[in-house]
C-alpha cells in the first residue's frame, strides 16, 4: 500500500498530539492517550509502537491501577536515545549544549568567539558541535536535530539573518554557511533550525520548564544587547521580518544617546551591558528594565515573564529593582496582583538550551509551517 502526502501529514500530526500529551502529563497509558486525544485505541497503539521504535518514547512499569481490568503500561518521553544540540552565538561568546528530549543538559561547552565574520563563526561553531556530538556518541545518544540562536533578527521564511548590529552582520544567508561548516566538521546531517537568541531563550522556558501551564510567555534577555522572545497562543511570535521583540531598540528617549543600531535613545543605551557598566550603581538600570517589562505586559498580558542574560547574572539587584518598578506601575493602575518576574531556569545557558528546544517547537507543531 502506498502512503500519500496527506496520510504522512496526518500521521505526523497524530504523533505530535500524543507526544505533546505525554510532555504535559508523564506516564499516561495507551488507553488514556486514546481518551485524551480522541484517536481510536488501535491508532494510538500503532503510533506508540512507532514512537517506541524511533526512540521518542519508552515504556515504564505496568500497573493494574485499582486492580480492575487489564494492566496498563505507563509511557514516558525517552530521555536516553535521542538528543538535541543547541548553539548560542552571543556577541563575543559561543555556547554549545546537548540536551535530552525533556531538557536535561548532558554536556556544555563555552568558547570566546575568535573571528566574528559569518564564515569564521560557523567554522568555530561547527568544531564545538563536533566535540559535543562525539560526547553524545559515547553516551549512545543519536543526534536528532540542531538549533542556533543568533543575536539579531532572523527571517525564517527566507533563512536570512537580516541585521545583527552587535556582530556587524547584515543580510547573511546563515543556514547554508552553517550546514556546510557542520558537514566539513564531520557532524551527521540533521535538520538545522535558526532563530534570534532571545526567541530561543524563551523556548528554553516554554518547552522545558513551563509545563504548558499557560500558552503565553515573554523572556527578556539583558546582555550587550537587549531583546525579548515572545510566545503567544502556543507559538513563537517573530513578526513579519523576524524583528518582533527587538525591544533593545524601542526608543525610551527621543534624541538620547547614540545606539549601536544608529538610532538615538534606545532601551539598550539605558540598560545594555555597556551602558550599565558606566553607572555608579548598575542595579538602577533595573528601573528602565522595569519600564520595558511594564510596556510588554500591557501590550501582551503574558502568563509568565522571565528575565535572563549576563546582566541579570552580574547585577542580580537589577532584577529586584525591575520587579519593584513593575509592581509600582501595576499598583498605580490598581491592578492586583502585579505580574511576577522570575529569573531564567537555565541561567546563561538559556539561549543555547532554547536553540535545542527550537527543534522540538517546530516538530511538535507540524501545521505551523516550517518543520
Closest separation between CB of residue 217 and Zn ion, Å?
A: 24
Among 161, 192, 259, 350, binds Zn ion (CB under 5 A): 259
Closest separation between CB of residue 92 and Zn ion, Å?
A: 19
In the stretch 265-294, what mask flags binding to Zn ion with x, by CB under 5 A? -x----------------------------
**Closest by Cα among 234, 225, 238, 318 to 273:** 225
Closest separation between CB of residue 271 and Zn ion, Å?
A: 12
Among 39, 105, 113, 261, binds Zn ion (CB under 5 A): 261
- Report DSSP letters for 256-275, one per residue: -SBPTTS-BSBTHHHHSHHH
Q: Does 249 bind Zn ion (CB under 5 A)?
A: yes
Q: Count CB-CB contacts under 10 A for residue 351.
A: 38
First to last CA, the chain: 26
**Closest by Cα among 139, 84, 103, 81 to 26:** 103
- Rounded Cα distance between 133 and 126, Å, is 10
Closest separation between CB of residue 352 and Zn ion, Å?
A: 25
Give the dihedral of Cα atoms 209, 211, 215, 216; nearest 10 deg: -20
Closest separation between CB of residue 239 and Zn ion, Å?
A: 16
Closest separation between CB of residue 248 and Zn ion, Å?
A: 6
Stretch that binds Zn ion, among 34-42, 138-146, 175-183, 247-255 (CB under 5 A): 247-255
Nearer to Zn ion, 261 or 330 (CB): 261
Nearer to Zn ion, 58 or 252 (CB): 252
**Stretch 134-193 residues interacting with Zn ion (CB under 5 A):** none
**Closest by Cα among 357, 358, 307, 351 to 94:** 351
Q: What is the DSSP letter of 209?
A: T
Cell 556577541, located at residue? 91
Closest separation between CB of residue 229 and Zn ion, Å?
A: 18
- Rounded Cα distance between 135 and 130, Å, is 9
Cell 525591575, located at residue? 322
Q: Does an H or E element contain 315, and which?
A: none
Stretch that binds Zn ion, among 13-21, 33-41, 108-116, 255-263 (CB under 5 A): 255-263
Nearer to Zn ion, 89 or 247 (CB): 247
Nearer to Zn ion, 8 or 253 (CB): 253
Stretch that binds Zn ion, among 35-43, 196-204, 256-264, 362-370 (CB under 5 A): 256-264
Complete edge-to-edge strand list for the sheet that includes strand 192-196: 105-112, 93-100, 82-89, 142-150, 192-196
- Rounded Cα distance between 265 and 255, Å, is 6
Nearer to Zn ion, 67 or 262 (CB): 262
Nearer to Zn ion, 289 or 352 (CB): 289
Beta carbons of 39 and 14 less than 8 angstroms apart: yes
Q: Count CB-CB contacts under 10 A for residue 4.
A: 8
Nearer to Zn ion, 160 or 259 (CB): 259
Stretch that binds Zn ion, among 14-22, 236-244, 254-262, 289-297 (CB under 5 A): 254-262
Q: Which residues bind Zn ion (CB under 5 A)?
A: 249, 259, 261, 263, 266
Amino acid at each position: 500500500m502506498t502512503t500519500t502526502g496527506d496520510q504522512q501529514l496526518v500521521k505526523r500530526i497524530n504523533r505530535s498530539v500524543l507526544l505533546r500529551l505525554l510532555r504535559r502529563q508523564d506516564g499516561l497509558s495507551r488507553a488514556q492517550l486514546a481518551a485524551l486525544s480522541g484517536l481510536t485505541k488501535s491508532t494510538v497503539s500503532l503510533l506508540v509502537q512507532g514512537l517506541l521504535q524511533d526512540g521518542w518514547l519508552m515504556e515504564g512499569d505496568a500497573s493494574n491501577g485499582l486492580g480492575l481490568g487489564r494492566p496498563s503500561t505507563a509511557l514516558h518521553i525517552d530521555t536516553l536515545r535521542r538528543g538535541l544540540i543547541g548553539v548560542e552565538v552571543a556577541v563575543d561568546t559561543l555556547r554549545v549544549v546537548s540536551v535530552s528530549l525533556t531538557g536535561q543538559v548532558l554536556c556544555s561547552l563555552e568558547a570566546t568567539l575568535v573571528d566574528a565574520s559569518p564564515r569564521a563563526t560557523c567554522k568555530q561553531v561547527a568544531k564545538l558541535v563536533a566535540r559535543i556530538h562525539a560526547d553524545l556518541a559515547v553516551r549512545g545518544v543519536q543526534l536528532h536535530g540542531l538549533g542556533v540562536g543568533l543575536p539579531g533578527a532572523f527571517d525564517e521564511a527566507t533563512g536570512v539573518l537580516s541585521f545583527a548590529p552587535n556582530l556587524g552582520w547584515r543580510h547573511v544567508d546563515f543556514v547554508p554557511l552553517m550546514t556546510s561548516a557542520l558537514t566539513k566538521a564531520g557532524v551527521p546531517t540533521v535538520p538545522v533550525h535558526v532563530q534570534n537568541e532571545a526567541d530561543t531563550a524563551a523556548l528554553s522556558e516554554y518547552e522545558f520548564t513551563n509545563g504548558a501551564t499557560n500558552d503565553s510567555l515573554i523572556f527578556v534577555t539583558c546582555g550587550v544587547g537587549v531583546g525579548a522572545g515572545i510566545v503567544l497562543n502556543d507559538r513563537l511570535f517573530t513578526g513579519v521580518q523576524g524583528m518582533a521583540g527587538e525591544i533593545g531598540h524601542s526608543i525610551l528617549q527621543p534624541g538620547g544617546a547614540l545606539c549601536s543600531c544608529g538610532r538615538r535613545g534606545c532601551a539598550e543605551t539605558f540598560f545594555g551591558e555597556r551602558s550599565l557598566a558606566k553607572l555608579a550603581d548598575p542595579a538602577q538600570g533595573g528601573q528602565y528594565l522595569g519600564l520595558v517589562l511594564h510596556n510588554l505586559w500591557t501590550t501582551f498580558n503574558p502568563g509568565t515573564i522571565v528575565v535572563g542574560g549576563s546582566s541579570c547574572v552580574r547585577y542580580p539587584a537589577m532584577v529586584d529593582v525591575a520587579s519593584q518598578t513593575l509592581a509600582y506601575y501595576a499598583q498605580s493602575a490598581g491592578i492586583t496582583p502585579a505580574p511576577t518576574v522570575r529569573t531564567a531556569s537555565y541561567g546563561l545557558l538559556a539561549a543555547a538550551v532554547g536553540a535545542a528546544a527550537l527543534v522540538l517547537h517546530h516538530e511538535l507543531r507540524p501545521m505551523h509551517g516550517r518543520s
